[in-house]
Amino acid sequence: MSERDAISNDGRLDSEAVREHLRVYFIMGSVNSRRPAAEVLTEAIAGGVTIFQFREKGPGALTGEAKVNLARELQGICRAHGVPFIVNDDIDLATRLDADGVHVGQDDEPARVLREKLGSRKIIGVSAHTPEEVRQAIDDGADYLGIGPVYPTSSKDDARPVQGTILIQNLRKEGITIPLVGIGGITAENASPVFAAGADGVSVISAIAGADHPQEAAAAFARLAAR
């Protein structure tokens, strides 16, 4: 991600630039695809992925230097294509690689603590599932929120109860303008209601990582995001 694209004149992140990057939010680690992650990511970016989150979790996930090396490889692909590289839940890794940002859940360090560690020029995303969590994340200085799970998902063992698009709709009705991305079980077939509810983008794991043709899968989401 170019700093010129994301940093405003006062040194803070430009929320509109963040909003644009959220349109097709691809999340993947080595366990999410039968093919090498680098191949899948390269094809997905060619299809229209606008931001990427490295999430190396689950049975068989890499650890130690193997995890670092894969992250560095995927970060290089993102940088070559101008796609922001976000690290899930591993602040040490994000700092070591000088990632573009981090994404955390409700059981991780709050955004205000992360901001102190990472500074004003990094993207901080927070998963939120209730109006109270949304307000707290905004107060803590999050740059965007992941709202869900919208649909049932098999990608996360600790997923919260499915809530559809109602929270996204309600937040927009209340005038909350922070960038929002829908999370959980989203496919090209069910993504339209998420955008219609007011989400700026959709986050996807299986629908792209598990696709036979990741480029085509990503392109389907890109077309929906452009409507």
Q: Which domains does the chain have, with CATH numbers?
A: 3-225 (3.20.20.70)
Residue position matching structure tokens 């629908």: 207
Q: Is 84 exposed, middle or buried (0-12, 13-18, 19+ CB in 10 A)?
A: buried
Confidence of residue 11 (pLDDT cuts 50, 70, 90): low
Q: What is 157-176 written as a DSSP string?
A: TTPPPP-TTHHHHHHHHTT-
Tens digit of each residue's pLDDT (9 = 90 or more) over 130-159? 999 999 999 999 999 999 999 998 766 666
Rounded CA Rg of the chain: 16
Confidence of residue 19 (pLDDT cuts 50, 70, 90): very high
Tens digit of each residue's pLDDT (9 = 90 or more) over 70-83? 999 999 999 999 99
Those residues whose C-beta lies under 8 Å from the C-beta of residue 13, and which sit 6 or more positions away, are 6, 7, 120, 121, 122, 123, 143
Give the Cα separation of 124 and 221 in Å (integer): 23
Give the Cα separation of 184 and 204 in Å (integer): 8
Pair 197, 3: CB distance under 8 Å: no
127 is in an annotated binding site: yes
Helix ranges, the chain (H): 3-6, 15-21, 37-47, 64-81, 91-97, 111-118, 131-140, 166-173, 192-197, 206-209, 214-225
153 is in an annotated binding site: yes
Look at residue 33 in the predicted model and tell me its pLDDT.
96
Region of 214 on the Ramachandran plot (φ > 0 left; ψ -120 to 50 alpha; else beta): alpha
The mean per-residue pLDDT over the stretch 106-129 comes to 96
57 is in an annotated binding site: yes
pLDDT surpasses 60 at 1: no
Look at residue 191 in the predicted model and tell me its pLDDT.
98
Question: What 8-state DSSP symbol labels residue 83?
Answer: -
Query: Structure tokens of 212?
Result: 């036979």
Q: Is 216 exposed, middle or buried (0-12, 13-18, 19+ CB in 10 A)?
A: middle
- How many other C-beta atoms lie within 10 A of the C-beta of residue 86? 26
88 is in an annotated binding site: yes
The mean per-residue pLDDT over the stretch 89-109 comes to 97
Look at residue 156 in the predicted model and tell me its pLDDT.
61
205 is in an annotated binding site: yes
Look at residue 13 in the predicted model and tell me its pLDDT.
74
Confidence of residue 31 (pLDDT cuts 50, 70, 90): very high
Number of residues assigned to the chain: 227
Look at residue 14 in the predicted model and tell me its pLDDT.
87
| pTM summary value | 0.93
156 is in an annotated binding site: yes
The mean per-residue pLDDT over the stretch 175-204 comes to 98
Look at residue 6 in the predicted model and tell me its pLDDT.
53
Look at residue 40 in the predicted model and tell me its pLDDT.
99
Pair 71, 100: CB distance under 8 Å: no
pLDDT mean across residues, the chain: 94
Catalytic sites, residue numbers: 55, 127, 156
Which comes out higher in pLDDT, residue 7 or 69? 69
Give the Cα separation of 102 and 104 in Å (integer): 7
Look at residue 67 in the predicted model and tell me its pLDDT.
99
Single-letter code of the amino acid located at 145: L
The mean per-residue pLDDT over the stretch 24-45 comes to 98
95 is in an annotated binding site: no
Give the Cα separation of 87 and 85 in Å (integer): 7
Query: Structure tokens of 180?
Result: 């929002």
